[in-house]
Amino acid sequence: KNEVEQSPQNLTAQEGEFITINCSYSVGISALHWLQQHPGGGIVSLFMLSSGKKKHGRLIATINIQEKHSSLHITASHPRDSAVYICAGPSTNTDKLIFGTGTRLQVFP
């Protein structure tokens, strides 16, 4: 079992739909990162959060540290949102990031 698990692994949506990607982790994580990776490999950091909720444009990230769960929401999805979304957290025992395997999102017009 991976220490950081995401669901679903693959997600397709029609433009305009509300998207939710979930991340659950079994290790003690002090904060959680949501990353976006487009085809070709470039990774962009979307959020780093340790409690509550953060919003940036159409993206919303929430985290419940006690339940060890985080969600990434995309409102009014657009084809340019198509990418792999990865959650990652630093273990409280070490300073390295532990990554989920990613959720591949495809948004069709």
**Single-letter amino acid code for the residue at 7:** S
Give the integer Cα–Cα distance in Å for 8 and 24.
11
Other Cβ atoms less than 10 A from the Cβ of 26: the count is 12
Choice between 33 and 74, CB closer to another protein:
33
Q: Which residue has the tokens 């079992």?
A: 1
For another protein, the binding residue among 11, 13, 33, 61 (CB under 8 A) is 33
Taking contact as CB under 8 A, which single stretch among the options 13-21, 43-51, 57-65, 72-80 is the one that binds another protein?
43-51
Q: Could you say which residues in the range 71-100 bind another protein, by CB under 8 A?
A: 86, 88, 90, 94-100
User: Does residue 31 belong to the site contacting another protein (CB under 8 A)?
Assistant: yes
Other Cβ atoms less than 10 A from the Cβ of 76: the count is 12
Mask 45-64, x = binds another protein (CB under 8 A)? x--x-x--------------
Tokens in use for 62? 């929430």
CA dihedral 86, 39, 106, 59 (to 10 degrees): 50
For another protein, the binding residue among 39, 42, 57, 109 (CB under 8 A) is 42
Provide the binding-site residues for another protein, judged by CB under 8 A. 4, 30-31, 33, 35, 41-45, 48, 50, 86, 88, 90, 94-102
